[in-house]
Structure formats: structure tokens, C-alpha cells
Amino acid sequence: MTYTLENTTRWVTVGGHKLRYHEAGAGAPLVLLHGSGAGVSGWANFGGNLEVLAQHFRCLVLDQPGFGESGRPEVYEQNYLRIASDAVIGMLDELGIEKAHLLGNSMGGAVATMTALDHPGRADKLVLMAPGGVGVNILGPEPSEGIRRLMQFNVDPTEQNALGFLRSMVFNEATLTPELIETRLQAASDPKAIAAIQDAYATFYNPKFAEPLPLWARLKGLRHEVLMLWGRDDRVTPVEGALFPARQLPNADLRTFARCGHWVQIERKDAFERAVIDFLQHGL
């Protein structure tokens, strides 16, 4: 079957807000959580992987609150990661799913980690792809080049800044096809999308919304099996940040990918899909 944005689109209402998700395949539920960034959505991150992954899993690709076509609270009154994590649990509740694998890219990796820590019985295995909030950079600059470019876009959401952010996401700029660039720039220019990402990031830097402990300080309490996937040339969450969680997580493997930036699922698509299927079906 050919999966498209249109024929996979579903809707669920959580906390009074309509959330879009894409559903494909059958089998063990697998929730896929996108990262942050200019023009991001669940489909933009994972639409190209559904044809393969849906042969093995019931894939649920969520537009997190405020991103893609999902609604959101008008004012955020807590850390955005917690808002997004609550949305994941709410979606599972509405769909009658007791437990699911969680796969998160970047910010989505942080959301998957928080969800598994706070609701351990609802998460099965975790795939964390260059997850935010979990790694600790000890050598490179903080924030990283990619995060600086994203913050530049948040302050001045121009096409030039959006394109600069996209270029920092990949090892090989040929990955950024004209179609991909056009789609992302069009989505990034939507005033609602701009406001959503600005508001989400504002919660990360607001002391009032700080968690009692950062995610990286809670990792030893995550008992689930975890596969971490990291591009060797990631300029958003540099690969050095993988070393701390690789040591702290009690049941985790780490795999790095050559010729790859922040988008493992795109730049190393086939290897990514093989790694995910093998891990989720057979474990560590």
C-alpha cells in the first residue's frame, strides 16, 4: 500500500484540543514523535519511513501540540515537554492502547524519555534518535550550531534563517531536495507555526516552568530497553552528547551513523529502518 499524508491522517481530541496523527500498519503500537524546528510535523519527520515500518508495527505519527495541524493551549502554563508528554498519554488513552513503543527524534526523544519515566507501564521499548535533554555536551559549544540557528529563526522567522536551520540538520546538503525545502519553508512561514515554536521554546527558558530535575539527571531510573541512534556529524545535538546517557541508562545500546547529521531517518533511511525493526522485534 502507498501511504500518503491524506490517507493516513486521523484526529483525536486530548484535553479539549484536536491533535492530528497519521496511522499506518498493524501489530505492536509504535508512537513516532517529531523534533522541533522550522516547518516541522510528524509527517515531515517520518512520512518517508511508514512504507517500511508499517509492515511490522501499527505506526502512530503524532503532530505534537501546536505543531503541524495539531491544536494547542492558547497559553502554555508548564514546560512544553510535559504538555507534549501528556498529549502522548492522552492519545493512547483515547485509542485504547495500554502500552506502546516510543520513537522520538530530538525534542521528540525528550518527550519519549519523559513519558517513559513518568508512566513506565505505558511504554515498551524506546528508540531515541539524537534526543534533546538527554545528552550532555562537555566539549562543544552550548547551545550547538543547530540550536543557535533555530533560535535565530525564532527571533527573526525569515526564509533565509529557516534555510540556514535546515542546512545545519544534514551532513549532505543534497539531502535537502527542492521539494523538501519548499515544503518546509511553506510550513515554516505559517504565523501559527511560528508562534507555536516560539511559545514552546519560551517554556524551556522560563525558570517558572523548570522541572525539579532535568531529564539527564533522571536517566538511571529509566529501566526500559533503549536504542540510541546518533548521526556522527550531528550539529544540533552533537554525538559527544551520547556518551553520558550511554553510561547512565542501565539497558541501552548506542549506534552511530557515518555520513549523517541530525536526521538519521532521512540521511541513513534504510539503516535506520533496519535498526528500529530489529531492536523492537528482538530487543538488545
Task: Give kind and range of the element (H or E) at residue 20.
Answer: strand 17-24
Q: Which three cell numbers stand for residue 268?
A: 541513513
- Sequence-distant (≥ 6) Cβ neighbours of residue 193 within 8 angstroms: 39, 67, 187
262 tagged catalytic: yes
List CB contacts of 277: < 8 A, sequence separation 6 or more.
Answer: 52, 53, 56
Strand 226-231 with 17-24, pairing = unpaired
- Kindly state the cell numbers that stand for 153: 529563526
Left, alpha or beta for 158 (phi > 0: left; psi -120 to 50: alpha)?
Answer: beta
DSSP assignment letter at 205: T
Asked whether the CA dihedral 260, 266, 270, 272 is positive or negative, the reply is positive
Distance CA 258, CA 126 (A): 22
Smallest Cα–Cα separation from 101: which of 127, 129, 133? 127
- Asked if 265 contacts 48 with a C-beta cutoff of 8 angstroms, the reply is yes
The C-alpha atoms of residue 124 and residue 101 are separated, in whole angstroms, by 5
Q: Which of 34, 101, 224, 262 is an active site residue?
A: 262
Contact 128, 112 (CB under 8 A): yes
Distance CA 209, CA 206 (A): 6
128: which DSSP letter? E
User: Quick one: DSSP state of residue 129?
Assistant: E
Which residues are catalytically annotated? 262
